[in-house]
Amino acid sequence: MAQKIFVAILAAAALAAASAAAAAQPFFLLIYSPGPAWKPGVPVAQQALAPHGKYMQSLAADGRLVAGGPLLDADGGMAILHAADLAAARAILAGDPAVQAGVMKAEVHAWAPAFGSNDPLLPPKP
């Protein structure tokens, strides 16, 4: 019985440490703008961005993408990432198919949220 309690305590401590490590990862902003292969005058929905969308979905699925999406008043977009450091954030950006193809270019900025609310960024899924 004592051994089971000890194992449970170790598992809980490991889970707490993993959660704290994920929460401690800094945030980075990716600010996207049209790259050299962007087709001027062509709507965003008709640009070659399908591979970029799949890449963003994979980043969200593994917990690295916090939020992202297109700008509504200009060509481009923004993403908020968790990454270990600036080099890791730049590596994530370098892996983006839209950047590799020159459809988009992006700036990477370290970011520390100072204000916020408890409101979710995205509406609940139906």
Are 55 and 96 within 8 A, CB to CB? Answer: yes
5, part of any domain = no
60, part of any domain = yes
| H/E run at residue 34 | strand 27-34
120, part of any domain = no
CA-based max dimension of the chain: 70
pLDDT of residue 62: 94
Mean pLDDT for 49-77 is 95
Please give the model's pTM, rounded to 2 decimal places: 0.76
Domain that holds residue 74: 25-111
CATH number (domain holding residue 57): 3.30.70.1060
Count structural domains, the chain: 1
Task: Measure the CA–CA gap between 28 and 79, rounded to whole angstroms.
Answer: 8
DSSP H stretches of helix in 1-126: 2-24, 50-61, 86-94, 97-100
31, part of any domain = yes
67, part of any domain = yes
Question: Is pLDDT of 94 > 60?
Answer: yes
pLDDT of residue 50: 96
Residue type, 120: P
124, part of any domain = no
Residue type, 99: V
12, part of any domain = no
Task: Measure the CA–CA gap between 125 and 20, rounded to whole angstroms.
Answer: 27
